[in-house]
């Protein structure tokens, strides 16, 4: 069967667009890995920032722990809220007006600039609730940022579960809670976990929300929810903006991107598992 001119044109456009995107991403990754790999050693990974100005020597271990801690707290808060909202909209709410209103609110949150979320976190969590600049304030703020993404994917995953199985469960007199636990969750869990892993990467790389709520230039390893922390993206911002050390900046970027790539690989694994 002969392909029409439009089909060939669309195919070339698709190929050209894919080639450009892959090339740009590959160039960024290779460039950072090439410039940052020389800085990676045991002292840099497991050491603390040293030198004058701070960060010119030493390592980034407190920043690694701080970023992982912030991401963990954000995932807990966002997952609880996002999965619960998705369950309510998909299984319990029968009012279309309420559902539409909630979708508008979720979409609006996803469109709020991250720096505005940082200002909200500072005003409400740091100042009003007196959580101060802390791990908890930053984690909750990041959780608000990634909540819409988790909710949308979870709602989509629940909606894609075979309706025949759900209706059969209801027909046997099984309530919605046990239906969700025993039928819906096993079918949708891989997609939900994949969404959580992707959103973890989103939270890990965010700088603006934590600048005002949790991150500081220097802090020890996180030991309390109410203590400030170092974070990889903020540390990278300080190294570059203050002209402290481009070598250490590339090393920090290397570690940050390496963690993000690992998280995305885990997400891809669960996504492929769902397809199978």
What's the whole-number average pLDDT of the chain?
A: 88
User: Are 254 and 183 in a shared domain?
Assistant: yes
State residue 106's pLDDT score: 92
Residue 276, pLDDT > 80, answer no
pLDDT, position 120:
93
Question: For the domain that residue 253 is a member of, what is the CATH number?
Answer: 1.10.3720.10
Residues 127 and 71 in one domain: yes
Indicate if 27 and 112 belong to the same structural domain: no
User: Bridge partners of 229?
Assistant: 215
Model confidence pLDDT, tens digit, residues 166-186: 888 888 888 888 888 888 888
Closest of 141, 155, 142 to residue 192, by C-alpha: 155
pLDDT tens readout for residues 117-155: 999 999 999 999 989 999 999 999 999 999 999 999 999
Decide if 194 contacts 274 (C-beta within 8 A).
yes
36-55: per-residue pLDDT in tens?
888 888 888 888 888 787 78
Say if residue 78's pLDDT is above 90: yes
Q: With a cut of 70, say whether residue 268 has pLDDT above it.
A: yes
- At residue 55's C-alpha, the angle toward residues 116 and 37, to 5°, is 95
Domain check: are 103 and 181 in the same one?
yes
Looking at the fold, whether 34 and 113 belong to one and the same domain comes out as no
Kindly state whether residue 56 falls inside one of the protein's structural domains.
Answer: no
Q: 65 φ, ψ to 5°?
A: -65, -40
- Short-list 207, 202, 204, 238, CA closest to 115: 207
pLDDT above 60: residue 243: yes
Q: What burial letters (b/e) apply to 13-48, b meaning 16+ CB within 10 Å? A: eeeeeeeeeeeeeeeeeeebbebbeebbeeebeeeb
Task: Note whether residue 238 is domain-resident.
Answer: yes
Shared domain for 66 and 35, answered yes or no, is no
> What is the tally of structural domains in the chain?
2
Task: Work out the pLDDT band at 269, boundaries 50, 70, 90.
Answer: confident
CA 105 to chain centroid: 20
Task: Dig out the tokens for 85 from the structure.
Answer: 């909202």
Does residue 274 carry a pLDDT above 80? no
- Domain identity same for 175 and 263: yes
Domain assignment of residue 46, yes or no = no
Tell me if the pTM is above 0.95: no
Q: Are residues 204 and 172 in the same domain?
A: yes
Phi and psi dihedrals of 215, rounded to 5? -85, 140
Predicted confidence at residue 232, as pLDDT, reads 92
What are the φ/ψ torsions at residue 50 (nearest 5 degrees)? -135, 180
Identify whether 45 is part of a domain.
no
Structure token pair of residue 153: 């994917």
- Residue 2 pLDDT > 60: no
116 and 218 in a single domain? The answer is yes
93 three-class SS = coil
Q: Which SS3 state, helix, strand or coil, does residue 49 take?
A: strand
pLDDT of residue 233: 92
What tokens does 255 get? 């570690």
Tell me whether residue 143 is in a domain. Answer: yes
Percent of the chain with pLDDT over 90: 37
Residue 54, domain member (yes or no): no
Q: Count of alpha carbons within 13 Å of 132, Cβ hemisphere only? A: 8
Residues 218 and 88 in one domain: yes
- Tally the C-alpha atoms within 13 A of residue 108's C-alpha that lie toward its C-beta: 6
Choice among 42-56, 58-72, 114-128, 190-204 with the minimum mean pLDDT: 42-56
The pLDDT of residue 124: 94
Same domain, 106 and 219: yes
Whether 4 has a pLDDT exceeding 80, the answer reads no
- 69 pLDDT more than 90: yes
155 token code pair? 């709602």
- Bridge partner residues of 49 (DSSP): 58
Instruction: Please list the alpha-helical segments (H only) found in the chain.
Output: 5-36, 42-46, 61-87, 96-111, 114-120, 135-159, 163-171, 176-179, 185-204, 208-211, 232-241, 246-275
Neighbours of 103 (CB within 10 A): 15
Domain that holds residue 35: 5-39
Domain assignment present for 172: yes
Confidence at residue 273, expressed as pLDDT on a 0 to 100 scale: 65
Query: Does 251 lie in the same domain as 177?
Result: yes
Q: What is the pLDDT of residue 3?
A: 65
Residue 220 lies in a domain: yes
């Amino acid at each position: 069967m002969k392909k029409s001119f439009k089909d060939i044109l669309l195919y070339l456009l698709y190929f050209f667009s894919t080639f450009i995107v892959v090339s740009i991403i590959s160039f960024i990754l290779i460039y950072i890995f090439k410039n940052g790999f020389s800085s990676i050693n045991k002292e840099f990974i497991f050491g603390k920032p040293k030198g004058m100005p701070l960060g010119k020597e030493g390592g980034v271990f407190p920043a690694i722990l701080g970023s992982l801690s912030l991401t963990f707290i954000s995932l807990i808060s966002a997952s609880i809220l996002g999965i619960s909202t998705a369950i309510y909209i998909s299984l319990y709410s029968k009012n279309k007006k309420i559902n539409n209103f909630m979708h508008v609110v979720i979409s609006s949150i996803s469109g709020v600039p991250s720096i505005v979320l940082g200002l909200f976190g500072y005003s409400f969590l740091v100042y009003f609730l007196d959580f101060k600049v802390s791990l908890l304030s930053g984690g909750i703020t990041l959780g608000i940022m990634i909540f819409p993404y988790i909710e949308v994917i979870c709602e989509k995953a629940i909606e894609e579960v075979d309706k025949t199985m759900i209706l059969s469960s209801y027909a046997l007199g099984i309530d919605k809670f046990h239906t969700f636990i025993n039928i819906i969750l096993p079918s949708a869990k891989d997609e939900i976990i994949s969404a959580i892993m992707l959103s973890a990467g989103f939270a890990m790389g965010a700088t603006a929300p934590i600048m005002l709520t949790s991150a500081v230039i220097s802090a020890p390893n996180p030991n309390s929810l109410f203590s400030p922390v170092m974070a990889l993206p903020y540390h990278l911002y300080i190294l570059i903006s203050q002209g402290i050390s481009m070598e250490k900046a590339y090393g920090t970027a290397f570690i940050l991107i390496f963690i993000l790539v690992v998280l995305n690989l885990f997400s891809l694994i669960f996504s492929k598992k769902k397809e199978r």
